[in-house]
Homo-oligomer: A and B are copies of this chain.
Amino acid sequence: MIKTAFAVLGMSCALSLGCLAASASVEQWGIYELALKGPAEGNPFVDVRLTATFTDGVRSAEVEGFYDGDGVYRIRFMPETPGEWRYETRSNRWPLTDRSGVFRVTPASKRNHGPVGVRNTYHFAYADGTPFRPVGTTCYSWTHRPAEMEEQTLKTLSSAPFNKIRMAVLPQAHGIKYMPPTRWPFEGKAPRDWDFTRFNPEFFRHLEKRIGDLCDLGIECDLILFHPYDDDEDWGFETMTAETDDRYVRYLIARLAAYRNVWWSLANEYDFLRTKTDADWDRIFKLIQTKDPYHHLRSIHNGRLIYNHNQPWVTHVSMQNGMATEDPGRATLYRDVYRKPVVYDELKYEGNHELRWAQLDGREMVHRFWSCTVAGTYGGHSEFFADEHNVVWLAQGGVLKGESAPRLAFLRRILEDSPAGGLDPSDHWQDPRMAGKAGHYYLIYFGKETPSSWSPIMYRTGLTDGMEFKADVIDAWNMSITPVDGVFTTKKKDRYMFGDRDGRTIALPERPYMAVRLRYSGGAAPVSTAKAPIEP
């Protein structure tokens, strides 16, 4: 996915452009890469400053370059609009400064929707407007595994339901004895003989390759920058100085921000990193906010203490709280607190672990995703079924063993067939089981209730008498969608609610995990929703 223009040391800018005319184009939200020859002596990671300004005449961005070893410097840029773009470099080294050039950005190809951002306060969309409904999983260390296993993970992902994966830049200790990492982020030697002032480009090239692989699969990469999982290995990555932390983060931004599928997750269980304070996290957030020209999504994931997600630099909530996802009435509460998208990236994991954060059965995992859905939030999957080598999907990737994944694929299809603006709670001050788009689409999920019937009843917003809705009965576990005969016609019941004019009910099978979907199909037109906000 990278188009590289290689400007050889000593070539004039005009000449270098001339030479590379054939490759000097890139698609919108692709990666334009400029490679420059520069000094290899001293410590280029620390001594050399390199930036480039890119402009299409309307907008401009300043991008930091990075040293990639062997006297090669690179600057990567993700153009956000098609057209002719120019760049000009600045450096404290003569061979790298004052380089300029022109390149053409072509419209995005069909499967490239750009980076994901926040839309409608609580939801996400790609830059081209395509909705993004996260159905994520977690494999912390899959990029630190033998090639064969990494390929296996990619193969699994290619047919799994997940469009987002949480993964750590730095290796974790889990399973390390069986499959020790072969690449390390810094020059030096494991376990802890590092030169923290020198990065290991090979490590990052590998990471980039995997991020590119995910991009090819249409999977967003929710990249965890720090974590508390060195355990007894004690590689020293948990106790780097603030200066080293910042240099590491800037190096990541310089290398990776041009990848459209990157999200920044500052940490997993940030509060278990007892070596950093809230002020450290604030500083790192602000650094990313300043240095990432594309404003990729930024979050931080909690252990026992919840970070102040009301801070303006947090774009969405990455929550660990399994208990909250047992019930939509719990799951929805964080929405109003933060007025941001809420993703339950850890709602406990499917598995057979002795620890209770990884012993959900498939039904409970699927139930929690559905609870999140009607709460107007998003769930997150992973698995912990250990084999004899302690290989688990959560840590290593590999293959999926649980029962939830196919049901999450089913849920994802339902989401993809739902309103583009996202599902919002219909009446969450009173009944948190229903979400949708007022006047157009309603999804009620009965969870562990086992009703024998349900009579459509919807909060007034967006409704008037005489609107017609078609209904489907959905079995979240058995993955069936059964259309209900006929239509339901709205009639005002009281100050708050509309029901069916003829009092019709929908038969339900007295099983748990059932849902009903109502979709507007005709009759009176939906009403503007601004007139009747949801009342407590």
Contacts and interface: CB of A to CB of B under 8 A. Distances in A.
B495 A337 contact: no
Contact of A428 (B323, B429, B430): B323
Nearest to A346: B536
Contact of A333 (B304, B334, B429): B334
Interface residues of A, number: 37
A277 to B, nearest CB: 15
A364 to B, nearest CB: 13
B322 A429 contact: yes
Interface in A21-61: none
Contacts of A475: none
A502 interface: no
B323 A533 contact: no
A272 to B, nearest CB: 10
Interface string A423-435: 0000011111000
A518 to B, nearest CB: 22
Nearest to A336: B306
Contacts of A336: 305-306
A304 B535 CA distance: 7
A492 to B, nearest CB: 14
A505 interface: no
Could you tell me the dominant secondary structure of chain A's interface residues?
A: loop
A354 interface: yes
Contact of A330 (B310, B330, B430): B330
A329 interface: yes
Contact of A323 (B305, B329, B356): B329
A237 B321 CA distance: 43
Interface in A300-319: 303-306, 308, 310
Contacts of A430: 322-323, 356
Interface string A317-355: 000111110110110011011010000001010000011
A496 interface: yes
Interface string A516-536: 000000000000000001111
Given A330-B333, A336-B306, A322 B536 contact: yes
Contacts of A429: 304, 321-323
A321 B536 CA distance: 7
Given A337-B334, A337-B337, A428-B323, A496 B356 contact: yes
Interface in A203-239: none
Given A323-B428, A330-B330, A357 B306 contact: no
A113 to B, nearest CB: 32
A147 to B, nearest CB: 34
Contacts of A354: 495
A250 B28 CA distance: 56
Nearest to A428: B323
B536 A304 contact: yes
A496 B303 CA distance: 17
A310 B339 CA distance: 13
Given A327-B330, A330-B329, A536 B320 contact: yes
A185 to B, nearest CB: 28
A82 to B, nearest CB: 38
Contacts of A324: 329, 333
Contacts of A303: 536
A535 B269 CA distance: 12
Contact of A355 (B305, B308, B346, B495): B495
Most chain B C-beta atoms within 10 Å of own C-beta, residue among A330, A428, A495: A330
A337 B534 contact: no
A310 B309 CA distance: 9
A158 to B, nearest CB: 31
Interface in A462-494: none
B536 A357 contact: yes
A45 to B, nearest CB: 37
Contacts of A348: 536
Contacts of A356: 430, 496
A289 B245 CA distance: 36
A91 B472 CA distance: 75
Contact of A327 (B327, B337, B346, B496): B327
Given A306-B337, A333-B333, A346-B536, 20 more contacts: A304-B429, A304-B533, A304-B536, A306-B336, A308-B310, A321-B333, A321-B536, A322-B430, A322-B536, A323-B429, A323-B430, A326-B329, A327-B329, A329-B330, A330-B330, A333-B334, A334-B337, A354-B495, A355-B495, A357-B536
12 contacts: A304-B533, A304-B534, A304-B536, A305-B339, A308-B310, A322-B429, A322-B536, A324-B333, A327-B329, A329-B330, A354-B495, A356-B430
Interface of A: 303-306, 308, 310, 320-324, 326-327, 329-330, 333-334, 336-337, 339, 346, 348, 354-357, 428-432, 495-496, 533-536
Closest 8 CB pairs of A and B: A310-B310, A306-B336, A330-B330, A308-B310, A333-B333, A329-B330, A337-B337, A357-B536
